[in-house]
Amino acid sequence: MTRPPVPPFTRETAIEKVRLAEDGWNSRDPEKVALAYSEDSRWRNRAEFVTGRAEIVAFLSRKWARELDYRLIKELWAHDGHRIAVRFAYEWHDDSGQWFRSYGNENWEFGDDGLMRVRHACVNDLPIAESGRLHHWPLGRRPDDHPGLTALGL
């Protein structure tokens, strides 16, 4: 299985890969998202370590059961060969209605097939008032005309 675009990444293909990842995560479909990762993909997400697609599906299922009305924006930070670095911000609320904006950085490494083999994520959560939200679009893919992180001042 090949998952274009594939490395080595140009600026344009790295930006495309980041947007495809954002779109996938905004689907909030763990099975679909897991297909972007190699069978033996290794993650560090906060203090949790995940290996392989089955663990990725379980992790994402837990995540989106807890992080309600999740909306994510990713932005390319850097790229080189088989690696991409991104920064991101996503908004969500818990089951009590408290909203959060989660900020972070990810470092990705891809195989020649375009599947992500390694993902390291650092994430911080900031409680926000609902009136302070910046990610406004219907659940699902962020519309092309919705501002990205830089335009939002994030």
Domains and CATH numbers, the chain: 11-132 (3.10.450.50)
pLDDT value for 1: 87
What digits encode the pLDDT tens for the residues 66-104?
Answer: 999 999 999 999 999 999 999 999 999 999 999 999 999
**For the residues 28-52, what does the mean pLDDT come to?**
98
Rounded alpha-carbon distances, angstroms, from residue 57 to 1, 11, 102:
19, 29, 20
User: Is the pLDDT assigned to residue 3 strictly greater than 90?
Assistant: yes
pLDDT-based confidence at 22, cuts 50/70/90?
A: very high
| Beta partners for residue 104, in sequence order | 88, 123
Residue type, position 62, single letter: R
| DSSP-assigned states of every residue in 14-67 | HHHHHHHHHHHHHHT-HHHHHTTEEEEEEEEETTEEEESHHHHHHHHHHHHHHS
pLDDT value for 121: 98
- Can you tell me the distance from the alpha carbon of 84 to that of 107, in angstroms, rounded to the nearest whole number? 6
pTM of the model: 0.97
**For the residues 57-65, what does the mean pLDDT come to?**
98
The answer to whether 80 touches 50, Cβ cutoff 8 Å, is: no
